[in-house]
Chain A
């Protein structure tokens, strides 16, 4: 066993030495390799994390939202609709919600204003998300100014900031009292932004939705499952587009790596001849090449995955954010919670490290099976 370990150590030692002897070529190869895996891993991490966040958010979301439409656009919904919906069998609860967006010209960000469901906030006080707190440099106890729909300035005091598991929902969030919301946007007391509906038996959700549609023909019903599907489709699609754009570079890398790995230069061929002549077996040469492939690909792969992790979860995927996140709806900036799908990383490993290592071994095996006397000439 000890001799086996020493043999591996000796051969790794020689492999490292031989990699260093071709420093320029190998550094370039590792750079390209790292870049390719970095881009792929970034896209994978980002799309997975954002989908995971979205599903986490949606888990807490109501099963059904009812919105009023006027000329195909979302309008305020009369609170009288609540009583009508309550009549439908199977409905467990019906509540009006008040929410909207507020554009802040100071930071150029859109905030989401929501009236807290249980209306715990007293008028004049708000609770803000981390993104808002960062963007406006405000903390608990500070006041924020808002321009109301009629041009009046409203000052609201920050009661506390939200620390949530997912910044995706809480980052741009401002929780506000019912009175302040209506004063800010001029929403009549008889209306809400939309209505959330709870259904006792999840299997009955589509039936209840159909009944609401029949009862209130000017409304649309948005089901949680539908939103979840849309999120999945959107971010899968964005990831796909990114990979498609990148596939040209990927192909170039594959050709480059294949050429580097599979083609043995005359110098390398001569070295294999020398090693065989001085007593190395074919299996020793293959082992050496195996280590070489592993060292190059495994170190590039690990470095790329670490960089991609830092890029996505610490630097908000700055390089690809415009493509992956879409428009300003995700402002102010938010930090993704690190969710990594191990199976995706394993798949990436098998698609990069394994083919590269195999491509390194085959030509070495061919060269190593030749009689070593060729180097005597």
Chain B
């Protein structure tokens, strides 16, 4: 369970270009569910996801992860939580060019000191599961949009996190690939993972596997579906 209490996020504070991205938001996200944060571009969805995923800190307010207050934790502990609890699927994939898909997905586990051989075995199992085993040795810049996204998903799952955070995952996919993505999410849900998706794609928020949709606009919750 993730709980946000009166969270506010201000960029460029006390400068002429000060901008309030999140206005005193309170939200409860239940475990083992698929939650969609729906809203137009620029509504603050990405900022909200980065706050939930311990990638940035709120200007004020508290974030609780399984009843543990994480807002005031030092950087090292936040990284530890990010590494073990969250897996990220970025809108722009954020794969490192010049490296193979296999090397990219192994990256999150590198600092944990696991043997490369066992890392490779684990990664190849996921490549098989996602049906792109033959692409493991390809450089990421040669992959199609759908393949790149699966690689991003495998990378997110590499450390076996409890929560998957996806930011506009279908933004660069056609309808067929978007449906395939949702089927993968179904699989994750069946594995009792918590999935949080920010999207304004009807194919995502109208999907039957979504447990809850939070309408988001101008940094605040409008209503819940």
Inter-chain CA distance A344–B110, complex, in Å, is: 38
Please give me the residue from chain B that is nearest to A7 by CB atom. Answer: B113
Q: Are A21 and B113 in contact (CB under 8 A)?
A: no
Q: Are A21 and B110 in contact (CB under 8 A)?
A: no
Please give me the residue from chain B that is nearest to A375 by CB atom. Answer: B94
- Which B residues lie within 8 Å of A6 (CB)? 113-116
Please give me the residue from chain A that is nearest to B114 by CB atom. Answer: A6
Inter-chain CA distance A355–B2, complex, in Å, is: 46
B3 at interface, CB cutoff 8 A: no
Inter-chain CA distance A18–B82, complex, in Å, is: 24
> Shortest Cβ distance from A287 into chain B, in angstroms?
8
Q: Are B56 and A281 in contact (CB under 8 A)?
A: no
Q: Are A21 and B111 in contact (CB under 8 A)?
A: no
Inter-chain CA distance A157–B135, complex, in Å, is: 79
- Which A residues lie within 8 Å of B127 (CB)? none
- Which A residues lie within 8 Å of B155 (CB)? 278
Q: Are B113 and A17 in contact (CB under 8 A)?
A: no
Given A11-B111, A274-B94: A376 in contact with B55 (beta carbons within 8 A) = yes
Inter-chain CA distance A353–B76, complex, in Å, is: 29
Q: Are A14 and B55 in contact (CB under 8 A)?
A: no
B46 at interface, CB cutoff 8 A: yes
> Shortest Cβ distance from A274 into chain B, in angstroms?
5
Please give me the residue from chain B that is nearest to A273 by CB atom. Answer: B94
B79 at interface, CB cutoff 8 A: yes
Inter-chain CA distance A3–B111, complex, in Å, is: 9
Q: Are B107 and A281 in contact (CB under 8 A)?
A: no
Q: Are B98 and A279 in contact (CB under 8 A)?
A: no
Q: Are B107 and A275 in contact (CB under 8 A)?
A: yes
- A-contacting residues, B52-97, CB 8 Å: 55-57, 75-76, 79-80, 82-84, 88, 90-91, 94-97
- Choose among A13, A271, A274, A369 the residue with the greatest number of B CB atoms under 10 Å from its CB: A274
Q: Are A284 and B111 in contact (CB under 8 A)?
A: yes
Please give me the residue from chain B that is nearest to A1 by CB atom. Answer: B113
A373 at interface, CB cutoff 8 A: yes
Q: Are B56 and A10 in contact (CB under 8 A)?
A: no
A280 at interface, CB cutoff 8 A: yes
> Shortest Cβ distance from B140 into chain A, in angstroms?
12
A138 at interface, CB cutoff 8 A: no
- Choose among B75, B111, B113 the residue with the greatest number of A CB atoms under 10 Å from its CB: B111
Produce 1/0 per residue, B134-155, CB < 8 A to A: 0000000000000000000001
- Which B residues lie within 8 Å of A2 (CB)? 113
A316 at interface, CB cutoff 8 A: no
Interface size on A, residues (CB 8 A): 35
Q: Are B55 and A4 in contact (CB under 8 A)?
A: no
Inter-chain CA distance A276–B78, complex, in Å, is: 11
Chain B interface size, under 10 / 10 to 19 / 20 to 34 / 35 or more: 35 or more
Inter-chain CA distance A278–B104, complex, in Å, is: 11
Inter-chain CA distance A283–B77, complex, in Å, is: 12
B108 at interface, CB cutoff 8 A: yes
Produce 1/0 per residue, A1-28, CB < 8 A to B: 0111111011101100110110000000
> Shortest Cβ distance from A344 into chain B, in angstroms?
39
Q: Are B110 and A10 in contact (CB under 8 A)?
A: yes
- B-contacting residues, A341-377, CB 8 Å: 369, 371-373, 375-377
> Shortest Cβ distance from B70 into chain A, in angstroms?
14
Q: Are B113 and A3 in contact (CB under 8 A)?
A: yes
Q: Are A372 and B55 in contact (CB under 8 A)?
A: yes
Inter-chain CA distance A375–B95, complex, in Å, is: 11
Inter-chain CA distance A279–B108, complex, in Å, is: 6
> Shortest Cβ distance from A201 into chain B, in angstroms?
70
Inter-chain CA distance A282–B110, complex, in Å, is: 14
Q: Are B99 and A375 in contact (CB under 8 A)?
A: no
A277 at interface, CB cutoff 8 A: yes
Inter-chain CA distance A90–B64, complex, in Å, is: 96
Q: Are B50 and A21 in contact (CB under 8 A)?
A: no
B159 at interface, CB cutoff 8 A: yes
Add 20 more A-B contacts to A17-B98, A277-B82, A373-B46 (CB < 8 A): A3-B113, A6-B115, A7-B112, A10-B111, A14-B107, A18-B98, A21-B97, A21-B98, A279-B79, A279-B84, A279-B108, A280-B108, A282-B79, A369-B75, A371-B50, A373-B56, A376-B50, A376-B90, A376-B91, A376-B167
A-B contact pairs, 8 of them (CB 8 A): A9-B116, A18-B98, A274-B95, A279-B83, A373-B47, A373-B56, A376-B90, A376-B167
A-B interface, 8 closest residue pairs, ranked by CB to CB distance from nearest: A279-B83, A3-B113, A373-B50, A21-B98, A7-B113, A373-B55, A10-B110, A373-B56
| Chain A residues proximal to chain B, CB less than 8 Å | 2-7, 9-11, 13-14, 17-18, 20-21, 270-271, 274-284, 369, 371-373, 375-377
| Chain B residues proximal to chain A, CB less than 8 Å | 46-47, 49-50, 55-57, 75-76, 79-80, 82-84, 88, 90-91, 94-99, 103, 107-116, 119, 155, 159, 167
